[in-house]
Structures are given as C-alpha cells and as structure tokens.
Structure 1
Amino acid sequence: MNRELTRIARLRRVVRVLLVIVYSATLVWFVFCLFGGYLLASADYATNVQTSQYILYGFIFFCVLHFALMRGLQSLGGQETALMGRIVGELFPEARFNPAGGVDREALAESRLFGDASTLPSPEATSYGRVELPVGEQTMQICDVGITPQHDKGLAANPLTMLYRSIMRPIFGTRIESSMHTFRGMFGYCRTQRRFKGYVLLLPDHLEDKLGYLAQSVQRIRQKNGAKFVHLEDPEFESLFAVYADDEVEARMVLTPTTMRRMTGLRRSFNRDLMISFRGDTLYFASGTPDGFLRPGRRSLADERLLEQLYREIDFCRTVGAEMK
C-alpha cells in the first residue's frame, strides 16, 4: 500500500497548505471588516478605488483557492475511506467496515460517557464510519464519532468563540472536520452475558483536573444522579481510572481484583486515555483520537505504523469484549 499512502500523504500536504491560506485569508478579512472602515475613512477617493480593486482581485483569488480546497478535501476523504476499507478488510476479514455507518444515539446517551439524556443536554454526534466486529456470539459496534454538546451552541453565539472554532482551530488542528467537536475518536459498545444494576463509570483519573465538556459532564452526573466515587484496593488500577457508580456494592461486584488486573493490562497496552461504562447488559467504551479513529494518522503515512496503530486499536476493542465477557 506504499503507493497509495504516498499519494494520500502528498494530497494531505497540498490540502494543508490550501487550508492555511484560505483560513488565514478569512481571518484577515474578518479583521478588515472590523477595522478597515477606520483606515479607509481617512483615505482619499483614488486610494479607496484602488483598495476596492485589490479587494475584488483578492476575492476572486480566494474563491479559486476555496474551490480547490473543497475539491481537495473531497478527494482526500474518498481516498482515505477506500484505503481504510481495504486495510480493515485485510487485517480483520471477519469485520464489516461501513464508511457511511452512523452511531446509535440511544447507545451514546445510555453510556453516560458524554452526559445523561435524562438530565443533561443530549450531545450532537457525527459519525465518520463504523466497524462491526464479531465477539463470540455478539457483534461489537465501533464508531469513529465526533461529539458536539448542545450547550456549546450558546457559546457559539459568542463572536470570539466562533472566530476561534471556525477559523483558528482548523488552521492549527489535526483535521478540519474535527474543529467544531469537543470529542473526536472511538466509541464502541457490545452486549454482555450479565446485566448490571445501575451504572458504573471508569474515567481517566485526571479527567476532572481538566477544563472541558467531559469534566463538566462528570460533575453534573455526580450532582444530578448521585454518582459516588468508589475507592478500590488496587493502587495500580486507581492510578489509571477513577470509578463512579450509583451502587458501590455493584461496582465492587463488577470490578473484581481479576477484572481490575486485566483492565489495567489492557489500558497500559493501549497507551491512551480510556473511558468505560457498564449499564444494563451493555459495555461501552470511548477513547479520544484527534486524527480520527477510522482515518489514517498524519504521522504514520510514511511507514507501517499506520497498519500497526489501526490493528492495535481494533484488536484492543475485540480484546475488551472478550475480557469483559
């Protein structure tokens, strides 16, 4: 696949250059709209006419570059989707890759990893593909999802917030389509053989120390749903996860010493923050991947690390399902 990877890497560099130019020009235009009137007010008629001509030429040039950027993004997305479908098919013949597959919003809400639909604003979810992976007799759904919480719409009314998210984040961000999301990455779920009473949440131990939507969601869940912090007698496990549950006895029944050791090993092998929840008869998990879960990472297009990374991520999902069985 080296030729395809090289072509995608080259196209991605072209798209990145176009993106920086187009969004930088948009930023300049925004600043000009705010302060340009003061500069032109003191200029004479000839200067104003000449400035208008420059603006017209710049607008035409901007339209050409914007059209090229949109075509480049469309072509890049198609090539990446085709490549990922081929890679998933080669590495996991039993899996089914659906680039147009959506995420189950009910499962997203039931997981409580991004809020609780009964008490918190329901987040908006955008799916960038789905993998269906057999795990025993069950089928695990793993989605590449972007989460945009509803309460962020109020922030979007702030011009500075819109300027940052609409212009600044695409310039410096990993992927342009992720710039409006507060979470982009993997979200998976699978039914288990037992049914859990209440719910158990396993979150990165440092999550509440950070500012952001996920930390706020945890705090609201604790306040409105009576979620309690559960202290467990495994220092290594607690260095990776903070456990919240509405029933401490149930949490201890789910998180036995053997289960905690296995989950500690899984988390260390994954080497990325992981969120897990048990509710009803379903296991849910999520992990942030700024490049996108079902998209080739920008740092791994030059060699086999792309295949290794994707294999580890999907195999990790399969292992989680088998271990929690």
Structure 2
Amino acid sequence: MLVTIGGYGLSTFQKKQIEAEQKSIRRIIHTLFPKAKLSLGLESVSSSLISKSNLFGTNNVQSISFGRVSFNHSQQVVFHDLLVGSSHTNWFTQTSIGGFFYVIKMMFKGVFSKRAENVVGNFRGLFAEAKMDKKINGTVIVLPDHLEKHLDYLAKNIQTLKNTKTNKLVKLEDIEFEHYFAVYSSDEITARYVLTPAMMRRMTELKKRYNRDIMFSFNKDHFFFAVSMPEGFLTLGAKSFTSEEVLQDLYANFVTVKETLQDLKLQ
C-alpha cells in the first residue's frame, strides 16, 4: 500500500516537473525562433536516416528523440534531442514490444535523479538533418580529431572508415581546422567543394567557443550535424537552460546549420 502511494506521489511530482520544464523550453524556443515548430516528447528516429549520416556507425543503429525543433525554408531543417543506444541493445529493440521496454529501461535510469538528461546512451545531444536541393557525388564525413582515445562509439566508426575502400582520409590546407577535425570522403574533389573556407572557419570557431565534440556530414542530398551534449539538448539541465552561456550555445548551433546550407546554396 505504502509502495503504491509512494510510487503515485513520485509519478505525480515528476509529471508536474516535466510539464513545468517543457513550458519553459517552449517559451525560450519561441522567443529565440518565433517561426520554429517545437515538439517535445519521446519519438523514434528512422534508423536508416541515422545510418545515412555516417556519424554513429551504419548497422542497426537504435535511437530515440526526446524532442525536435524544425524550420521550414525552401527545405525543412530538423533538430533532434537525440539519444543513440549501444550496439548490445540492438537485438532487444528489433520488435515493437522490445523497443517499448527499451524506452522504459532508459527512462528508469534517470527517474530517481528526476531529470531526463540523466538517461544514458552511447550518444546524447543535438542532431540536425536537412535534405538539400543539390546532390553531391558521394559522401563527406567530418569527425572530431583524436576521438579514438575517449569516445568508443565514434572510435569504432572511425576504425570502420579507415578500413573501408569507400571513404578515405582527406588532408586540407586549413591547419587550424585540421587540428580539431578529421575529414573522410569518397571523393577528395567533392570534399574540397563542400568544405568551403567560410564553413571551416565557422566550425573551428564553434569548436573553440565551447569545446564540445562537433561532427557533420554530407551524403548525396542530405546534410547532417551533431553536437555531443550529455546533459541533453532540449532539457533545462544541471546548468540552467536560461543562462546566457547556454542560450548562446543553442543559438550558435541553429545558426551554424542554417548558414552552412546557405553558404553552399544547398537550401
């Protein structure tokens, strides 16, 4: 009886806390980007889309979105608060029932600390995707340099890229950009076409500004952009979502994706 009452009380308290947090997030996003469309709540993200990004591996990638923000211009740009699961859970999520219990399992990891950002996975953070008007030849993948020492899910991805005959490491002339990023592409000419000097400067400045792992890719007619945010992208977080630093980071991420597409006249 006491367990039931206690569980109900915890559930009610957490529901109110989530509702208050989501109300604050909606107000902030609307203030920063009045034309943006915001959706909060758990939803699946196409595994084929995640695999197409080439940022998290290519086989049976499982992921969940805690919310998304979308912009409609000539093409739609969508930003997800993405959680990518570990490979050993793939077998468990191959059915709808397994997928449901996988969500419950991950949510319970954060329940007693009361925050959604305490839910863990191989990757948590911002993931943006946009379909481009122009189609490039092949793929271009840009990952943080020196990853193999501290991020297992990306270390394996880098090793896969090194072993494949499709994508090769490309050396560019921008020394500062290459200090922070490693470029892999199926075609060096294509890599030099899409990685304009303006884009490389923008990504370098973004990396230096708040020192997060940034990665992005081009695959035929799609552009992808991801930033590691273990605390979550659309959460108030341990560091207040309303702090000036966090709002600047949020705004910079949105603007970077939109300006990158504009630079290349791909949107």
**TM-score category (smaller protein):** 0.7 to 0.9
Q: Name the aligned partner's letter for residue 126 of structure 1.
A: I
Shift of 1:192: 2.8
Per the alignment, residue 71 of structure 2 pairs with 133
Shift of 1:203: 0.3
Q: Give ranges in structure 1 of 5+ residues lacking alignment.
A: 1-59, 156-164
Q: Is the contact between residue 174 and residue 290 of structure 1 (CA under 8 Å) also seen in structure 2?
A: no
Compute the TM-score of the two structures, normalised by the length of structure 2.
Answer: 0.79
Q: Name the aligned partner's letter for residue 229 of structure 1.
A: L
Q: Is the contact between residue 102 and residue 129 of structure 1 (CA under 8 Å) also seen in structure 2?
A: no
Q: Is the contact between residue 44 and residue 63 of structure 2 (CA under 8 Å) also seen in structure 1?
A: no
2:219 to 247, 271, 279: 279
Shift of 1:193: 3.8
- Tell me the alpha carbon deviations over residues 72-114 of structure 1, each in whole angstroms, 9 at most, x when there is no partner: 3322222212221121112111111112465343321211111
1:196 to 123, 132, 136: 136
Per the alignment, residue 212 of structure 1 pairs with 152
Per the alignment, residue 238 of structure 2 pairs with 298
Per the alignment, residue 89 of structure 1 pairs with 30
Q: Is the contact between residue 140 and residue 189 of structure 1 (CA under 8 Å) also seen in structure 2?
A: yes
Per the alignment, residue 115 of structure 1 pairs with 57
Aligned pair count?
Answer: 252
Residue 283 and residue 153 in structure 1: after superposition, are their counterparts in 2 closer, same or farther (change >3 A)?
Answer: closer
Percent identical pairs in the alignment equals 34
- Tell me the alpha carbon deviations over residues 107-146 of structure 1, each in whole angstroms, 9 at most, x when there is no partner: 2121111111xxx2x11111111111234x2221111111
Shift of 1:184: 0.8
Residue 82 and residue 176 in structure 1: after superposition, are their counterparts in 2 closer, same or farther (change >3 A)?
Answer: closer
Q: CA RMSD in A?
A: 3.2
CA distance, structure 1, for counterparts of residue 124 and residue 257 of structure 2? 17
Q: Give ranges in structure 2 of 5+ residues lacking alignment.
A: 93-104
Per the alignment, residue 143 of structure 1 pairs with 80
Residue 174 and residue 195 in structure 1: after superposition, are their counterparts in 2 closer, same or farther (change >3 A)?
Answer: farther
**Residues 6-155 of structure 1 correspond to what in structure 2 (within 5 A)?**
65-100=6-41, 102-116=44-58, 120=59, 122-135=60-73, 137-152=74-89
Residue 251 (structure 2) pairs with residue 314 (structure 1): no
Q: Is the contact between residue 140 and residue 219 of structure 2 (CA under 8 Å) also seen in structure 1?
A: yes
CA distance, structure 2, for counterparts of residue 267 and residue 104 of structure 1? 28
The more displaced of 83-92 and 100-109 is 100-109
